Amino acid sequence: MKYIAFIALFAAVAIVGCERDAQTASRNLSKAADMFEVQRRVVFVNGITNEYLLSIEGRCSINDQQRQLEVTCKKGPEQFVKHFLGLSDNVTYFAEQLETVDVSVYHNRIIFKPQNIIPEIDLRGDMGELLKDRQ
């Protein structure tokens, strides 16, 4: 029984460890982009007229929602902008990485942010409305 567990564990480690370098680097680049560490240019093009509709540059994360593209960019330490563009049969986009980023081909990057555990809560209300209900 011990041998079966050892063989199963060895097989699982071997399968996970057989990933190509390009797969590991690609996944780590995507995580770096989602952490606003990658300088990108995103260009939207009308496929019929070949006209550029919009170009976005910066440290941007891309979220493709099939018929809509969401591009979130970091403009400053706590400043962000979010762009939306609808995609159609004749509107497409391409994203270009503008500079190199150091990522590992040996280790998968895992991001853990303990501050995400405690939410930021915004309270909205009218004190008069709250007191009116008590009368």
pLDDT on residue 8: 59
Decide if 104 contacts 24 (C-beta within 8 A): yes
Q: What is the mean pLDDT of the chain?
A: 87
Alpha-carbon Rg for the chain in angstroms: 23
Q: What is the DSSP letter of 107?
A: S
Query: Is the pTM for the entire model greater than 0.75?
Result: no
Q: What pLDDT score was predicted for residue 13?
A: 57
Give the closest residue to 53 by CA, choosing from 65, 63, 43, 62. 43
79-122 tens-digit pLDDT? 999 999 999 999 999 999 999 999 999 889 888 888 888 888 88
| 39-87 residue pLDDT tens | 999 999 999 999 999 999 999 999 999 899 999 999 999 999 999 999 9
